[in-house]
Every structure is written in C-alpha cells, then in structure tokens.
Amino acid sequence: MATATKAKPAKAANTAPEIAFTLKTAALRNLFEMTREIADLWAIQGLLGWDQQTQMPPGANEVRSEQMATLEAIVHAKRSAPALGKAIAKAEAALEAHPERATVADRALVREARRMYDQATKLPEQFVRDFTVATATGYDIWHKAREANDFAAFAPILERIVELVRQRSRYLDPQASDPYAPLFDEYEPGMPLEIAEKALEQLRKATVPLLRRVRAAKQVEAGFMEGTFPHDDQIKLSRRFLEIIGYSFEHGRLDLTAHPFEQSIGSPDDVRVTTRVHEDDVVSCLMSVMHECGHAHYEQGIDPALKRTILGGGTSSGIHESQSRTWENIIGRSEAFWQAHYGEMQRAFPRNFSKVPVEDFVRAINRVGESLIRVEADELTYNLHIIIRFEIERDLIGGKIQVRDLPEIWKAKYRDYLGVTPPNDALGVMQDVHWSSGLFGYFPTYSLGNCYAAQFAAAMRKAHPDTDARLAKGETGFIREWQREHIHRWGTIFQADELCRRVTGESLNPKYLIAYLEEKFTRVYGLK
Amino acid sequence: MATATKAKPAKAANTAPEIAFTLKTAALRNLFEMTREIADLWAIQGLLGWDQQTQMPPGANEVRSEQMATLEAIVHAKRSAPALGKAIAKAEAALEAHPERATVADRALVREARRMYDQATKLPEQFVRDFTVATATGYDIWHKAREANDFAAFAPILERIVELVRQRSRYLDPQASDPYAPLFDEYEPGMPLEIAEKALEQLRKATVPLLRRVRAAKQVEAGFMEGTFPHDDQIKLSRRFLEIIGYSFEHGRLDLTAHPFEQSIGSPDDVRVTTRVHEDDVVSCLMSVMHECGHAHYEQGIDPALKRTILGGGTSSGIHESQSRTWENIIGRSEAFWQAHYGEMQRAFPRNFSKVPVEDFVRAINRVGESLIRVEADELTYNLHIIIRFEIERDLIGGKIQVRDLPEIWKAKYRDYLGVTPPNDALGVMQDVHWSSGLFGYFPTYSLGNCYAAQFAAAMRKAHPDTDARLAKGETGFIREWQREHIHRWGTIFQADELCRRVTGESLNPKYLIAYLEEKFTRVYGLK
C-alpha cells in the first residue's frame, strides 16, 4: 500500500529551539523530505547488519550479503540522484538569500546533504567497483597471510589498495595539499588534519617518557584477577552495570557477538549494544560493555527533533569514540566510580575479591601491559599503537614510504615508542584488518576520541567540581545529563571541531589527556 | 558503494530442469532483474516485521512503523512503476511469440509479475489511503468495543470497511460475478471460488452430524493433562521436536512472541519460527511449534533456483496452511508419531505422564472441546468456525446480510453448526481481528488448508503405504522428502489448483478430509 512520507519534522516538547528545524522555504522542506527517506534506509541497513551479527542463522550469510547489496544500490541511487543534487543547490541558494530564516538545524541539514551527495557522486562507478573488488580480495589475502605470517604474500594487494586509496583521495579533493587529508575528513569531517597531527605528536612526546617511567617502576600486584568467571555471571553483571550507568533497555538491548559493537537503528528509540565474554578475564566483557554503552548514550541522547533525519547520528568517529572512552576509562576505571560499585563485583565473584580492597582492584584494572596488540592494549599504551598506525598510513599515502618497508618501519616504531619488538609480522604489521579493507584515515580518530574525552571531562568538572564525590556516592546521571546537554542532543548539527569549541571554549587540545594520563599513572604506579 | 545486481539466476546442482529459469529472451532477463530487486525488498520487509515482533526494544515501535512505511512506499513505487508494466508486456509478448523457448519457471515469473503489478496498480492511491485510515481506525475501535462487549460501537466503522472492501473488489475485477471472488483470489490465486465453496459446504454437511455423535459419546479422560509445565522445559521440548521433525537450525531459529508465526527472510536459507508458552498447557506450545515448522518446511524446501525471485515463497495461503496442518495435526496428533516420541514427553514431565499409556495421551490431545473460540478450537470443530465466518463474510460482501444483523446471525450459526451459543458478542462475532482490519477472503484458506493437507496425505500414503510403520519407528524424513519433491520445491511456480491436480491427480476434494476426520474421531470416541 502506498504510504506517503510527508515532511513532518518530529518536534518534542523539550526540544531546544535552536535544534528544531523550521524549514521556512519550499527548497528546505523538499530537501528535508528527500533526505528523510535516505535516513530511514540507513536505519534499515543498520538493522540488516545488526541481525547478521547477532541473530541470523549461520546458513543465511550469502543471501544476506545479496540483500544488503540490493539495498545499498538503492541507497546509492538515491544519494547520487541528480534530483537530489538540484534540491541541495536550491536549498543552498535559499539559505544564502535569507540566512535569517534558517536555524542551525536547517543549515546543518543542507551541509550534511551536500556532504553525502558529494561523497556519493565524486567517485566514478567503475572506480567504486574496482575498489570493492580490490578490498574484498585484500581482506581474503590478508586473512590467509596473517595466518601464515607471510607479509610478502600480502604486499602486492596492499600496494594495489594503497594506489586505489590515493586515487580515491584525488577524486574526493584534487586540490588537497596532503592526500591523506580528504581520507581523514571522511571520518572526522571539518577537523583540520594539522590540528589532529599536532595533537597526536604532542601526545606521543608526552606518553613515551611516561611509559618509560611506568616500566621502570614497581609493577602492580594483580594475582587476584586470575580465575574462571562463568559466562552467565559476567553477562548478568554487565547488565547490572548497564543499568547502573543509565542505559535504557526500553530503547535498547544487549546481545552476544564475536566483536562488540553499538548499533543505532535510526533513532534514539532503538540503540543496541553487543559484547562477548572471556571466562578467564573478569573485566574485559564489563569494560567492553561500558565502552559500547558510551556510544549508546550518545545515540540515545540525540534530540528527538533529529529523529529520522540525516542529522540523527553522532557527528564524527572521534566524537563518538570520546563518549565510549569516557564511560569505559575516565569513569569506568576511576576509583571514585568503583568506590560506589565494587560491592557488586565482590558479591558476583567473592572468591577473587571479597578480601581485596577497592584501591587494589582499581590499580589492577589500570595496570600497563606489555602491549604488543592494539585491541588488548591498556589506556596508556593504546594511543601509541594508534600514533604508529597514523604516522605509517599518512606517510604511505603521501608516498614517503613503501609497502615493502612496512615490517621494518613497524618494528622500529614499536621499539622506539613502546619498548617492544613484535616477534613476527602476524603480531606486528598484519595484526589489524583496516588496511586490507582500504580503511585509511580512520585510525587517528581512536586517539582523538581519547583527547576529546579528557578535554570534555575537564569542562564537565568545571561545571561539577564535586564529580568524584558524586561518583563515589553512586551517582552517574548528572554526567549523562551534562553530556546530553552539551554533546549528545546535537547529533550531527555541529561538526567535531565546532562542537569541541562550543563545549570547551577551545579547539582540540591534547594537554587535557596528557595531564589526565600523567596524574593517573603517577598515582597507580607511585611515580615520583 | 554502487553494487550492480545482475540477472544471474541461482542454479543449484540439484535443481530440476523444469524449475530452472532459462531467460532466453532479453525481455525475460530484464523482467527477472527488475523483480529480483522487489524480492530482496520483500525479504527485508520480512526482517523488519520479524524483528519488531521478536527483538525490537519496546520503545521503538513508533519509529519502526515509520521506517516500514518508508520502505513500503519504495516497494509500492517499484511494483507499480510504468517501466515494470512495459517490461511485463514485453515479456508476455516474447512468451507468446516463442512459447518453446520458456520453462515453466519463466512462464510463472511473468504470471506472478503481472499479478503483482495489477494488484499494485488497480487500486487508486486515494482509495488505498482511505482504506488504510479506515482499517487503522477499525482496529482501534474493534479493540475497545470487544473489551466493552459493545457491538453497536463497532458496527458503524465495520459498515464503512465493508463498503470499502466492496469497492476494492470492484477495482480488482469489475466483471466478477460474485464480488467476494476477487477478494478470495488475493489469497488463493487461481482457485475458482465455486470449487472452494462447494468443498466447504460438503465439509460442513459431514462435520455437523459427526460432531453431534462425538458430543453424544462417552467423553475422553484427560485429567492427567492438568498441571504446571515450566516455561523453559516446554521450550527445550519444543526445540527437541523441531529437531526430530527436521527443522534446520542452520537456516532458522526459534524465538518467543505473543502470537506464533513463521517468517521467511527471502530464501530457504533463513526461515524463522516463533512460539509462546502457556504453563498450564503442555501441548499448546508444542503443537504450535509443529504447526509453524510445517510452514517453515515449505519455505526451507523451496528450490534454490527460486531464491531471491518473486517465485521464492509458498504459492497460496491455503497451500501454506496445508503444510502447517500436516505437521501439527495429521502427523503431530497421530498415534504412530507418538509411539516413537512419547518417551520424550514422559521424560520431560514424568509426574504427569510416566504412568499414562501412549494411547491415552493421543486420545487426550485429540479430544473435542466446547469450542466457542476459533483459535482454541480442536481439529474437528475448527472447520466449522471457519465455515461460519466464510458464509457470513461472503453474504456480507454480497449485500445479502447487513452488519447490524451479524450478532444474531453469528449466534444462530454457532448454535446450528457447533451446538454452542456465545454468551456475548465479545466471545462471539467480535472475537477475531480480521474484519476490523479489512481482511475479507482470507478465512476460508484455513479450512482449504485442512482439505489440501488430507488430500496430499492420501497421495503420500499411496507412495508410502508403510507411512504409519515408519512414523512409529521415529522416521519423518521420508515425509518431508515427499513434500519437498511434490510441493515445497516448486515455490510459486504452480498456483494452488494446478499444484493440487499435479500432486493428487484431481482438483480440491474435501472427501479426503472428511474421511480422515470420520476415521479419527470414530476411533478416538469409540463411535459405532
């Protein structure tokens, strides 16, 4: 049955006036309607992916891929439709003619529509096809080469992928001074690469000596963390902590997957998280759940006025990661938080924890490991893993280094920054899937997320100087409220850099993360 | 990324040549490609609905409805596109010019495309909108009126709906001699209404006196069925029986919902079933699971060549119901089946069954109840519930009776056919949702399903005269194989009546069901 989808922006009673769309011109109303359809289809794509990871019968993988390809082709056709291009141009003209008639939401709608349309139209169809084939092949070869610890087998396809990624960059912005910049901009739109680059450099310069001091100090006692922690008990505890930190099961759910993730199904009303359990590790699942819940807080906190629009998601990879890192690390590994909730852990696993004081537990979950593998890294060394990848991929795309030299460059950087040398390439340069899939420009957003997180936390502590005292009393709602007001509800209205300036009064600045890490690890390791 | 969906019909090694598409003309290939996209979108619609019923967080209902409306509008646009109309006409011309170049699958593709296109284009948009509004209102009013047992409150909107349904019939086929026929044809395409009408009349004439004899006989002892049967034990047992009767969990899953259903996500690779548990009833959940598994067997058994095409589902509501009724009733309530599997039931619930012989158990699950409510009815009285609704809705659409007279007509028919009188309209004429939602023409397919089921079973027993002996040894695979060969794998290639003739050598004939019911209830009740 034909059901007309009319341009009726959802406006909840509590929507701030600057978030609401006003759509005072026909051009804006038309654009709103055209992009709403795309937003709904994105949501449906999200559901197809979520179902594939969590519920789908194992034998349905092939047909699901084909269904997803069909829907993606429809979405692509809509994103790149000449009619949409014209509608955007008209809306841009209307904005220019009568800027006073538009809210920030109206303006952001046009900006994001333009961005989405350009992304879809700048890459020629044949190029997209070549890229898809190369990265599908790349993934397969990487997978086998890693198993066989055979970088030479992986190098040729990686060279081909790097060449295509350079081409991609030229299509996206032929004028770019640095070919890495247009790639980075896909994930952290509006954030100048130079700012990010400088931030990561400062972070490296501060972290490397701090790590050396930590390595030289007396190591943290954590024998009590060893044991077997049954699957169901861990899931029960994880659910309990989701409730404690305010995840809404009315608008979400927790499922099991091989790799944890958060997926919004198109609105704050339906934001799902997943996790997995290692029975020999009591905090891995719990911290992963806190991490995904940080992502979910963001999506569940977006203003209802942005529901079912192309502004209805988080604004960038880095800002999204800042929210997950806040709940996983800044709150989830803080002594104040555990003062309130350690009893839950002790009751769940009394054999391990009934006689261990909370201070020892918190030190244990903050200890710094050997750190060969990124996904297992602690809070201090994690950024160095990222910075290594960022430096390498930037120089690779820039043509300053060659694929064949990657294993040696990787090992040298690991030795210099982290003080470890990978025993082989499988545990070294081939440990991550990203490059084999053509994903360049994404890595830095992980560490930018940590930078934003610390910078936001500093701003929040100004507004709530009693943060630790309240955390220690078991309160977390005030943090989420602060995040919602300043970050979450705005969805994609502001791009990352502008959002950061609005929230903290300045652009991205790594000094907050550096100070946070200095303070924490000085305390945990009793450094002088 | 743009992904081209090419016309590459899936052809598995074991596909019968007559099922495979050959697509020897450009017109056919073009139509194949256009309809493939629609088939994939139908699958995605199936997933959205399944998720809504089984997994979706409760707070997401509104936004999900809107996402579904967006997708439905896209599907409707594709189904009614003038380009599709032209492609169908070209394919029809190609078939006529060179009939020898097409397989039955090719021909069925064109037939189903025509049917789908006509359905989508015959109803004017304004009419569809009016119908949607009226039935949405109708559902709400029905729900409240039933609660309040107030038929007068429901009558005006039902009159409006009936008027719209008559109009719908005129749009679908202005030449129809009986306005009910085009409605019936939506669910049981190609089955002449007269054949169905005659079958149901014969069935009524045989069932009413049989029921009287059952009522007059000594009633079945079933006190041992009373007790509390824990939820998890029932689900465990249901899963066990799904395995026993060959449901593929590799290509399916079992979930919980308020109302059980089966949902194919677009291919035999992904066919899901749901159930619910009443803890005071040990067979309700189990039989419901066997029922849905019958539907699932059909969908899981469709030939891979029809995957992701508009022929990739069951051919009609009645044929689909025949498969569910076969596994629920003809097999699932047979003594032969329980001779093999009663031990599972005894081990699951020893307090109730360890001392009860299998014969008594089988009699108990076949006992005939008072039967006021259709969805709780036993195998014998169920058809009378359906026949009453069929007679009433046919006469209502035909203008022979009026909405205001329904309560009295209902009561009279219940008294005459079933020997019971509903104490009120909530338990009478308002018990079902169908009419309030504009669903007319669907009811008869439930009983046609029972007729087909018995007719198919008779044909199968000719091929496998040792059916009972094999069932009693725990075999069921040979039944599914027979069904697959003769029914399942054909998908929508043959319409119901043609399929019935191919499988059984004759058109729909109720004598098989009548004989089956006579034999069974004579035995269960020791009738002379």
Enumerate the residues of chain A whose CB falls inside 8 A of the CB of residue B79. Answer: none
Instruction: Determine, yes or no, domain membership for A80.
Output: yes
Residues 258-277 of A with CB under 8 A from B: 265-267, 269-270, 272
- Per the structure, the complete domain to which residue A98 belongs is given by 26-177
- Extract the tokens encoding A50: 């979520």
How far is the C-alpha of B148 from the C-alpha of B261, rounded, in Å?
28
Instruction: Determine, yes or no, domain membership for A155.
Output: yes
CB-nearest partner of A72 from B3, B64, B250: B3
Q: Do A74 and B2 touch (CB under 8 A)?
A: no
Helix B26-54, helix A26-54: angle, nearest 10: 80
- Calculate how close chain B gets to A84, using CA atoms only, in Å: 16
Residues 219-258 of B with CB under 8 A from A: 248-253
Residue B206 near residue B517, CB atoms below 8 Å: yes
- In tens, the pLDDT along B398-439 reads 999 999 999 999 999 999 999 999 999 999 999 999 999 999
Instruction: Determine, yes or no, domain membership for A117.
Output: yes
CB-nearest partner of A40 from B1, B3, B70: B70
B292 catalytic, yes or no? yes
Instruction: Determine, yes or no, domain membership for A115.
Output: yes
pLDDT recorded at residue B14: 60
CB-nearest partner of B51 from A47, A59, A132: A47
pLDDT recorded at residue A69: 92
Instruction: Determine, yes or no, domain membership for B46.
Output: yes
The SS3 assignment for A393 reads helix
Exposed, middle or buried: residue A458 (CB in 10 Å: 0-12, 13-18, 19+)? middle
Catalytic residue among A112, A188, A197, A292: A292
How far is the C-alpha of A311 from the C-alpha of A308, rounded, in Å?
8
How far is the C-alpha of B289 from the C-alpha of A354, rounded, in Å?
46
CB-nearest partner of A44 from B55, B67, B251: B67
Residue B123 near residue B182, CB atoms below 8 Å: no
- Calculate how close chain A gets to B64, using CA atoms only, in Å: 9
Instruction: Determine, yes or no, domain membership for A513.
Output: no
Instruction: Determine, yes or no, domain membership for A15.
Output: no
Could you tell me how far CA B38 lies from the centroid of its own chain? 22
Q: Do B63 and A269 touch (CB under 8 A)?
A: yes
Which residue in the block uniquely carries the two structure tokens 């593709």? B109
B60 to chain A, any CB pair closer than 8 A? The answer is: yes
**B25: Cβ–Cβ under 8 A, 6 or more apart, which residues?**
B91, B94, B98, B101
- Calculate how close chain A gets to B77, using CA atoms only, in Å: 8
Residues of chain A with pLDDT under 50: 1-13
Q: Do A70 and B40 touch (CB under 8 A)?
A: yes
Taking CA–CA distances from A39, the nearest residue in chain B reads: B67
Q: Do B250 and A3 touch (CB under 8 A)?
A: no
Residue A188 near residue A508, CB atoms below 8 Å: no
Instruction: Determine, yes or no, domain membership for B457.
Output: no
Taking CA–CA distances from A132, the nearest residue in chain B reads: B1
Helix B151-172, helix B104-122: angle, nearest 10: 120
- Calculate how close chain B gets to A2, using CA atoms only, in Å: 5
Residue B374 near residue B506, CB atoms below 8 Å: no
Among candidate residues B484, B496, B490, the one with its CA nearest the CA of residue B452: B496
Enumerate the residues of chain A whose CB falls inside 8 A of the CB of residue B77. Answer: 2
pLDDT recorded at residue B18: 77
Catalytic residue among B292, B321, B379, B391: B292
CB pairs under 8 A between A and B: 159
- In tens, the pLDDT along B19-76 reads 889 888 999 999 999 999 999 999 999 999 999 999 999 999 999 999 999 999 999 9
Residues 11-50 of A with CB under 8 A from B: 36-37, 40-41, 43-44, 47-48
Helical (H) or strand (E) element with B287: helix B284-300
Residues 66-105 of B with CB under 8 A from A: 66-67, 69-74, 76-77, 80
Helix B444-463, helix B317-325: angle, nearest 10: 60
Helical (H) or strand (E) element with A222: none
Residue B154 near residue B131, CB atoms below 8 Å: no
Helical (H) or strand (E) element with B214: helix B193-216
R_g over Cα of chain A: 23
How far is the C-alpha of B383 from the C-alpha of B391, rounded, in Å?
12
Taking CA–CA distances from B124, the nearest residue in chain A reads: A2
How far is the C-alpha of B230 from the C-alpha of B279, rounded, in Å?
6
How far is the C-alpha of A198 from the C-alpha of A290, rounded, in Å?
29
Residues 313-342 of B with CB under 8 A from A: none
Q: Do A132 and B1 touch (CB under 8 A)?
A: yes
- Extract the tokens encoding A357: 């004081």
Residue B165 near residue B438, CB atoms below 8 Å: yes
Bridge partner residues of B256 (DSSP): B275
Residues of chain B with pLDDT under 50: 1-13
Enumerate the residues of chain B whose CB falls inside 8 A of the CB of residue A272. Answer: 57
Q: Residue A294 CB: number of other CB atoms within 10 A?
A: 30
C-alpha triplet A256, A259, A260: angle, nearest 5°: 65
* pTM, full prediction: 0.93
Enumerate the residues of chain A whose CB falls inside 8 A of the CB of residue B265. Answer: 56, 60, 63-64, 67
DSSP-derived secondary structure letter, B221: P
pLDDT recorded at residue B20: 87
- Calculate how close chain B gets to A34, using CA atoms only, in Å: 11
Q: What's the structural domain count of chain B?
A: 1
Exposure string for B371-390, b = 16+ CB within 10 A, e = fewer: bbebeebbbbbbbbbbbbbb
Helix A151-172, helix A104-122: angle, nearest 10: 120
Residue B244 near residue B457, CB atoms below 8 Å: no
Q: Do A1 and B64 touch (CB under 8 A)?
A: no
Q: Do A55 and B55 touch (CB under 8 A)?
A: yes
| Dihedral pair phi/psi, residue B263, rounded to 5° | -140, 120
